[in-house]
Structure 1
């Protein structure tokens, strides 16, 4: 007769637990609101503000230069397309895609700034 196959016994030990996660030093600085954490957050806010100022300046210069353009070249102000004068078309129709594009660019830049900040915190 054949002997039945023996199964191996497995010993379970409770002491083999996964190592505990340590809080990274930078994250601890942020959580405890120390001077270092405050400087890091201030840097993020400064980056976001700089991006907002640049985008706002670009939009203001673009839309704000239209009256100057029409003052320098009065013949452009008399041009009519689809029965509407060019200044009204530019300010009433063409400005909105500019605003949407500026908002899209700002959102992508702000998300990039935040992603860079999170990578800095996670990496340290």
Structure 2
């Protein structure tokens, strides 16, 4: 009878692989290792980032050159050539436009870098994401 109670009270313990021992993704994603090993694919990734940053910089520079380059032509017009208006345009109105151009450039550059980072990082490492088991 004691044996029957032991068998009836006995439970099976099912164990699995410990969480820390599960197979994890490699420390470097393939894109990141391509870049760190300086392969042709990695160089293509970096070149694409540099190209997009250069495109943003040239657009900002072009907008700034257009803004500042057109002003002397506008001041050649007889009606606009009054001294007070020239000083207001040069001293006050140009700076907010330059600020918007600079702000656009910084936002675009940060977006380019975020896109590049998203390309080379593992989705499991992304901020705010958690693994399936957590």
The TM-score normalised by the length of structure 1 is 0.77
How many residue pairs get aligned? The number is: 112
**In angstroms, what is the RMSD of aligned CA positions?**
2.4
Report the equivalent of 1:75: 79
Report the equivalent of 2:114: 115
Tell me, in whole angstroms, the C-alpha distance in 2 between the residues paired with 1:18 and 1:38: 33
Report the equivalent of 1:45: 50
1:5-16 paired onto structure 2 within 5 Å: 16=18
Could you tell me which of 32, 53, 59 is aligned with 1:54? 59
SS in structure 1 at match of 2:22: coil
Offset from partner CA, 1:36-63 (integer Å, 9 cap, x none): 1112101111110111011111111012
Runs of at least 5 residues in structure 2 that lack an aligned partner in the other structure: 1-8, 124-134
Tell me, in whole angstroms, the C-alpha distance in 1 between the residues paired with 2:65 and 2:41: 36
The TM-score normalised by the length of structure 2 is 0.72
